[in-house]
Amino acid sequence: MAFSPLVDELVESLRCLPGVGQKTAQRMAFHLLEKGRTGGHRLAESLQSAMAGVRRCERCQNFSDTPVCGICENPKRGNGTICVVESPSDLLAIEQAGDYQGGYFVLMGHLSPIDGIGPADIGIECLMQRINDEDISELILATNPTVEGEATAHYIADRLDGRDVLITRLAHGIPVGGELGYVDGFTLTHAFRGRKPLSD
Amino acid sequence: MAFSPLVDELVESLRCLPGVGQKTAQRMAFHLLEKGRTGGHRLAESLQSAMAGVRRCERCQNFSDTPVCGICENPKRGNGTICVVESPSDLLAIEQAGDYQGGYFVLMGHLSPIDGIGPADIGIECLMQRINDEDISELILATNPTVEGEATAHYIADRLDGRDVLITRLAHGIPVGGELGYVDGFTLTHAFRGRKPLSD
Ligand SMILES: [Zn+2]
Ligand SMILES: [Zn+2]
């Protein structure tokens, strides 16, 4: 860009955001400079505070401002159940559904030998430690239904083989409100195999 | 979000970016926290510097770090031609095309009586002053081919009525490399009316 090193630098920095290329970064920079300087200043401050202040919860590995996060500190959530998810957004989706009342463990990823990501990198030892220390009766493996997610779930299940912990996996099936015609074959097969009596 | 006020605040602040809703802001925040803290810090600093340091050029109104921008200060660009554009991105597109060698005037908008945007708001008086002060032989009205862009171009042309300044508008026509079948009717009509002898 010919006209301003400060604008150039801002455009370049905005490209660290996921899904933001050169054109989008330019549009964002111009928007902030033209109409959003207050928002721009506020964003700068939030970024600084969050980058410096957000850590990982010592118990569940989720993002937290404090050593132990709000969910882990909430005595009502300590019902002996841990739900294992891959990411904070998965946790958020479950929280927003509003039904689950147990605790979490956030892997921040999944096993991926190709990328050199092993059990230690996603905190499996911490999870095992927590299952030893706390009175856990059920471990819900809510990793994604992808090859890596399934492999990660199986690895965790294997590690707990012979232990007195119920290990469950979320049900696959037709999305509520979904139309059969738009559901893929694998999901449909799962839905058939998991069919239940109407009275259920 | 249940787990971190700092993350909540970051997500909320990211929504000041154009085209960024709740889900996208969340994805951006999580990405920065998980894998991009260096980029996040750098973005915070660039934002702060740009929001505080970028001003409008005194001559062309474009964004600039200095009172007068690089293009306006460049003696090679003072060939008596001013190209009037609506926004810095329009200027950038022309600069990237690389052919135009004159100066600019950036309106940072267009006339829009409904939104209460009149000539003074887009700097028309400054433009008139500049045409008086400098030896301007041609004014290229490169506002957008929209109702507002056309109205703005006509308003500027009217203000210069009777003055010894050549007023031009960019040619409409088939985009280079474009296929006739995909060109809209208005453009095609313009292209027909503006047809030129093959030798041209
Ligand atoms: Zn926690
Ligand atoms: Zn300038």
CA B19 to chain centre: 18
- A172: distance to nearest CA of chain B, Å? 24
The percent helix, strand, coil of chain A (3-state, each to 5) is 50, 10, 40
Of A12, A33, A50, the CB nearest to B7: A50
Which class would CATH give A57-169?
A: alpha beta
pLDDT (tens digit per residue) in B165-174: 999 988 878 7
Within this chain, domains A5-53 and A57-169 share the same CATH topology? no
Residue B71 has pLDDT above 70, yes or no: yes
pLDDT (tens digit per residue) in A159-180: 998 889 999 988 878 787 777 7
Place of tokens 């600069």: B95
The domain defined by B5-53 folds into Helicase, Ruva Protein; domain 3 (1.10.8)
A44 with B41: Cβ contact below 8 A: no
Q: What global pTM score does this model have?
A: 0.80
Stretch B35-42: mean pLDDT, rounded?
Answer: 90
Residue-averaged pLDDT of chain B = 89
**Interatomic CA distance for residues B11 and B33, integer angstroms:** 11
B18 with A27: Cβ contact below 8 A: yes
In 3D, which of A38, A41, A45, A15 has the Cα closest to residue A27? A15
* ipTM rounded to 2 decimals: 0.82
Q: Given this model, what pLDDT does residue A15 score?
A: 95
Band (B198; pLDDT cuts 50, 70, 90): low
Stretch B143-154: mean pLDDT, rounded?
Answer: 91
- B135: distance to nearest CA of chain A, Å? 23
Residue A63 has pLDDT above 70, yes or no: yes
Give φ, ψ of A39 to 5 degrees. Answer: -60, -35
Residue A49 has pLDDT above 90, yes or no: yes
> Residues 6 or more apart from B196 whose CB is under 8 A from it?
none
- A6: distance to nearest CA of chain B, Å? 5
Residue B92 has pLDDT above 70, yes or no: yes
Residue A190 vs residue B54, higher pLDDT? B54
Domains of chain A by residue range: 5-53, 57-169
Class of residue B107 by CB neighbours under 10 A (exposed 0-12, middle 13-18, buried 19+): buried
Q: Given this model, what pLDDT does residue B45 score?
A: 95
Identify from A6, A27, A41, A45 which residue to disrupt to test chain B contact, counting B C-beta atoms within 10 A and taking the largest count: A6
Residue B2 has pLDDT above 80, yes or no: no
